[in-house]
Amino acid sequence: MENILNDINKRFISLPEEDVRGNKQILESVLRTFVEQMKTQDPLFKALFRRVFYGGSFYDGLKVGKPEEFDLDILLHIPIYAQPVLNESNVPGFVWLKLNNLDGWLRQPEGRVYKDFRKKFLADNDFLDTGKTLRWMESLVQKTLNTLPWVNNATCELTNEFGTFHINWWKGGPAMTLGISHSSGEKIMDVDLVACFVFSGDKWPINGYRSNPFPSTKPEFFIVPKKPQGPVNPQGRYWSLSFQEQERVLIDNKNRLKPAVKLIKKLKEKTHPNIASYYIKTVFLHIIEQKDQSFWNKSLREVFMTTLREYNEFIADQSIPYYWCRKNNLIGHLAPITLNNISNRIGYIIKDIENNPENIAKHLLTKEEYTKYIQGEDVMAEALPALPASQTSSCVII
């Protein structure tokens, strides 16, 4: 079974490094220039902008399959003079942010550039509003795209050292998504851009939350304009907490952890896609607490089977507590019968591969993938097209 798991990981889950590097270079070069262009379109964005955080499963090393989807957080910073105050809301895992000295901040000489902050970001009583933030980000992305040459009504064009690319965009949840394709029309990747606000450790939530495990090296955290699952009022006041930088350190340097996460994600894609990938990552954060470093150095078979059983225990208990605030059950919105069915399905798979280890490939792979597996095809080696030769265009990105 060890050989089968390693073979599946190589041929159906992990991309060759050169392909990963190519898409990463395209992404970072395009985004670097796009953000600089955003600064020219809105002085307020230029003043607020801190940095881009390259988040999501790809940069965590947990991506399954082609690197075609990326999650990037555009981190914005509110000056301390405005006296931003974070308060835990009545929904675990969500906070409210209020500016207690907005007018005093705006009266400062350097505050002039922020004169539209209340209109664009704040609701009643100077609470930061998710809806206004999303609309502002949508408008800014559209305005920035309008500075590029347009191929048609939906697509603009840019050129850099990696070739000529077409870009279109759409909305989805809290993100503005940029679709990047080759000039031939062949899709390369989708990039989700989310406007977040970043805070230092002195704002770290306290009541019911874990303390920062890396206060000296990773002191910052983010708030994201993502609303709770259930009805809340007022809706625009709720911001989701994000501790991605700390999570990345927690899962790093643990030999078999990332391959095991990716195998379980591969299984969930086939058998229970209604469990979000982040929930699986959260289960592993809990498991890390219970295991010493030596556990992750065991065989992939042992790590995979042990963590799969523990993952199923969380599903059977119908609770995956948010790692940073246990009162927030990440799967609380799913129907009990749905979770029972998922748990029963995973339980069956565990028993089957315990009795017949060679069946693991049938459970992890789709029918099409399994046929290719039997035929010895290396799917991931041909997952991405070669980069095109550099071309020239009226819009050059450097």
DSSP secondary-structure letter at 10?
I
Q: What is the secondary structure of 208-241 as a DSSP string?
A: T-PPPS-TTT---EEEE----SS--SSGGG-EEE
Is position 126 annotated in a ligand binding site?
no
CA 213 to chain centre: 21
* Contact (CB, 8 A) for 321 and 314: no
Is 289 assigned a ligand-binding role in the annotation?
yes
Query: In the numeric block, which tokens belong to residue 133?
Result: 């933030």
Q: Answer yes or no: is 384 a known binding residue.
A: no
**142 is an annotated ligand-binding site residue:** no
Q: How many CB atoms lie within 10 A of CB 74?
A: 24
Q: How far apart are CA 86 and CA 100, in angstroms?
A: 11
Q: Is 398 annotated among the ligand-binding residues?
A: no
Between CA 71 and CA 80 the distance in angstroms is 28
Q: What is the sign, positive or negative, of the torsion defined by CA atoms of 160, 161, 164, 167?
A: negative
Question: Is 70 assigned a ligand-binding role in the annotation?
Answer: yes
* CA pair distance 224, 173, nearest whole angstrom: 11
Backbone angles phi, psi at 11, to 5 degrees: -95, -20
134 is in an annotated binding site: no
Residue 280 annotated as binding site = yes
Cβ contact 49:76 at 8 Å: yes
Query: Is residue 108 a known part of a binding site?
Result: no
Residue 277 known to bind ligand: yes
Residue 319 assigned ligand-binding role:
no
Residue bearing tokens 């000529």: 164
The response to whether 240 counts as a known ligand-binding position is yes
H helical segments located in the chain: 2-8, 17-41, 43-48, 56-60, 102-106, 117-121, 130-145, 244-251, 257-271, 277-290, 300-316, 336-355, 360-364, 367-375
Residue 190 bridge partners (DSSP): 69, 179
Residue 288 annotated as lining a ligand binding site: yes
**71 marked as part of a ligand binding site:** yes
What three-state secondary structure class fits 122? strand
Tell whether residue 192 is among the known ligand binding residues.
Answer: yes
Q: Is 103 annotated as a binding residue?
A: no
Q: Is 304 annotated in some ligand binding site?
A: no
> 185: how many CB neighbours lie within 10 A of its CB?
8
Tell me the binding residues for Mg(2+).
Answer: 69, 71, 192
Tell me the binding residues for GTP.
Answer: 192, 240-247
Tell me the binding residues.
Answer: 57, 69-71, 192, 240-247, 265, 277-281, 288-289, 292
Tell me the binding residues for Mn(2+).
Answer: 288-289, 292
Tell me the binding residues for ATP.
Answer: 57, 69-71, 244-247, 265, 277-281
